Structure formats: structure tokens, C-alpha cells
Homo-oligomer: A and B are copies of this chain.
Amino acid sequence: MAKPSGVMELAVLGLLHESPLHGYELRKRLNLLLGSFRAFSYGSLYPCLKGLVATGMIVEDRPDVEAHGAEANRRSKIVYKLTAEGKEHFQDLLANAGPSAWEDENFGVHFAFFGRTDADVRMRILQGRRSRLEERLDAVRAAFTRMRTRLDDYTIELQRHGLESVEREVRWLNELIKSEDDQRK
């Protein structure tokens, strides 16, 4: 029960690792951190926080209530803080990142926490991401050449733009991998 998973869990734990935050603020930081990659709504954030409390990864702190013994059922800010288990779990998620880490939905979040990730794991994720994109590139290019003549101008333009975007990301990854390699020496 209440087993939060998905990208959000990692993102929340990572942000709370920096400093305790309440939900509303957390959501803003989340959407800033992920910038143009994705956005979350409160409808998924709050249940996720409850789930993380239930599994002991984070604890609630109600500053208002403690400060001036206000009624407990009143609506007030709830500041969430990582527990020791939460920190451990976060490091675990970063260290044991599997192939899902280089899928579209997850790569950005993992990358955002590279500062706290071991160099070898960083390299594994960057290379995983790159081969993932290269597979896609091969598939699309093959299909494209095969069908080219049967496609109309707009479809071709869409394909061309899509391919170019993926190629750009591959070049970006190449540079990152190179600079990781250089730092290793």
C-alpha cells in the first residue's frame, strides 16, 4: 500500500535532499528543475508526498501548529523533510539506476541529480541514453528511406525535423561523455 514510484518519487527526494520544503513550493521547484521537460500537478504531488510519509522516507513538520498551539485540523503549511531512510533510499535509486533511467520520461530527472551521482553511474546513463537514441535513429532512418516516395511534404518535414532533433541530442551526449572522460584523468 501507498508505494510511490515513478519519476516523481526520485525528483521529490532529490529536492528535499537540498532543503525541507512544503508541497506548494516543492511543485514550483519541481517544474523549474525539469524546465521544458515535464510538469506535474498538485493532484499527483500531494498523494505522492503522503505515500513517501507512509513509507518513512520523509516526515511532516507543521511549523504553524507548533509555534502557537493552533488547532491541529486547521489548514497550514506542511514542511516535508527527508529522513535517514529517505536519504539512503535516494542514494540507492541514484546508484542502482537501471535501463529506465535513459528513457525519455526519466533521463532528465536522473541528469538533474548527476551532481550527487557516481561518475561510473553517470557514464552508464549517458551511454545508455545515447545508444537508446541511436537505435531510434536507425529505425526511423530505415523506415524513412523505405517510404520516402510515398510520404507527402509535411510528413517528410516532420520526419526531418524529428531526426535532426534526435541527432542534436546525440551530439550533446557525445560532448558530455567526452568531458566526463577528460575529467576522469
A113-153 CB mask vs B (1 if < 8 Å, else 0) is 11100000000000000000000100010011001000011
User: What does DSSP make chain A's interface, helix, strand, loop or mixed?
Assistant: helix
**Chain B nearest Cβ from A43, distance in angstroms:** 18
Alpha-carbon gap, A114 to B115, bound state (A): 43
B32–A158 CB distance below 8 A: no
Residues of the B chain whose Cβ atoms lie less than 8 Å from the Cβ of A108: 158, 162
Taking A112-B158, A152-B115 as contacts, is the C-beta distance between A36 and B136 under 8 angstroms? yes
Residues of the B chain whose Cβ atoms lie less than 8 Å from the Cβ of A153: 115
Residues of the B chain whose Cβ atoms lie less than 8 Å from the Cβ of A174: none
A37 on the B face (CB < 8 A): yes
A155–B115 CB distance below 8 A: yes
A165 on the B face (CB < 8 A): yes
**Chain B nearest Cβ from A118, distance in angstroms:** 13
Taking A165-B168, A168-B168 as contacts, is the C-beta distance between A159 and B115 under 8 angstroms? no
